[in-house]
Amino acid sequence: MKRKFLGIDIGGTNLRGKIISEDGKPLAERKTCSDAHMGISRLIENLSSFIKEFPCEEVSAIGIGIPGTIDRGDGMLIQAPNIANTKNFPFTKALIEKIGATTPIFIENDAACAALGEYGAGAGKGSNSMIMITLGTGFGGGIILDGKLWSGEDGFAGEVGHMTINPLGPRCACGANGCVETYVSQVAIKRIVCEYPELCKKLAGTEESSIPKRLAELAHKRDESAIEIWNNFGTNLGVGISILVNVLDIKTVVVGGGLSGSWQLFIDKTIEEVEKRSLGAHARGLQIKKAFLGDDAGVLGACYVAKSGLEKNC
Ligand SMILES: [Zn+2]
């Protein structure tokens, strides 16, 4: 009998689940609220009910994408800024106890899942190695080398948002100064907008998550400050990408996440900067592509995590 895999993507707002067949065909799909902001106990509760909605007896393994730092081997969630009260939580153990399942469960970071999804069925399909950059609240990433996710010696690889691009730059949430995330992310845009008094006034009262969209509208209406912000955003993204391609010599960079919706406003500056900074051989044949699976990338990647987890364990 052909095997089936269940993938779950935990988002700040939603849980998304999908079952795929061994050859990647989607068989079932669902979505519900995650209530992640209400804490880890509530999340485990919701996740357990959600998993039970799927025909788990037909599933060979479950993969789960989590927005946080994880320890794959022990199934621990080390920290997750968007899930309240979470530090060193035995995630897999708690979930298995709750659902009473015997199906193997494998966890992975959510940005890494998105990278696996785009690599397997999205903008990175057909490439050998790929870097995925997810532009959302922060600047996330996933690195795929020779077809495999590179997790690093301790499992924490892919923290591309914390490459320093200006040691004298603004303070980052990680404690360092001038990480690329402090220039190229939703959080960064909120801060930068306030450096332009007129723009700050225009956007006063706008929710943080809506500021990039409003800023894009203003840029399309030829607001000079808004255009300048998107240009600098593109340039700084290019600085980050050039560091990665110079070090790794990877020819496919996929950019996704909510802010990639403003692609036309920043991509020319990104390409210009990458061409300026990448060493000749590295720039040759380099493709910077827009992700096209959207929210589906993470959940599909979680299915692949289930599949590869099972194969590694066999
Ligand atoms: Zn940082």
Where are the chain's structural domains?
Answer: 4-114+295-313, 126-290
How much distance in Å is there from the Cα of 60 to the middle of ligand 1? 38
Do residues 235 and 277 touch, judged by C-beta distance below 8 A?
no
Residue 170 C-alpha to ligand 1 middle, in angstroms? 10
Q: 80 CA to middle of ligand 1, Å?
A: 15
- Unique residue bearing structure tokens 């320093």: 164
User: In terms of residues, how long is the chain?
Assistant: 314
Average pLDDT (117-134) is: 97
Partners of residue 140 on adjacent β-strands: 134
Give the pLDDT score at 31.
Answer: 94
The CATH code for residues 4-114+295-313 is 3.30.420.40
C-alpha–C-alpha distance, residues 278 and 212, integer Å: 28
Q: Each residue of 29-75: pLDDT tens digit? A: 999 988 888 889 999 999 999 999 998 888 999 999 998 889 988 89
CA of 111 to the centre of ligand 1 (A): 16
Residue 278 has pLDDT above 80, yes or no: yes
First to last CA, the chain: 17
Handedness of CA 216, 221, 226, 229 (dihedral sign): positive
Query: Starting at the edge strand that comes first in sequence, how are the strands of the sheet with 87-89 ordered?
Result: 69-71, 76-79, 87-89
Contact at 8 Å (CB) between 132 and 118? yes
Question: pTM for this structure?
Answer: 0.91
Contact 117, 293 (CB under 8 A): yes
Q: Which fold has domain 126-290?
A: Nucleotidyltransferase; domain 5 (3.30.420)
Average pLDDT, the chain: 93
**CA 182 – ligand 1 centroid, Å:** 7
Mean pLDDT confidence for 128-133: 97
pLDDT of residue 312: 81
Asked if domains 4-114+295-313 and 126-290 share a fold, the reply is: yes
d(CA 28, ligand 1 centre) in Å:
38
Using the mean position of ligand 1's atoms as its centre, give its distance from the Cα of residue 159 in Å. 9
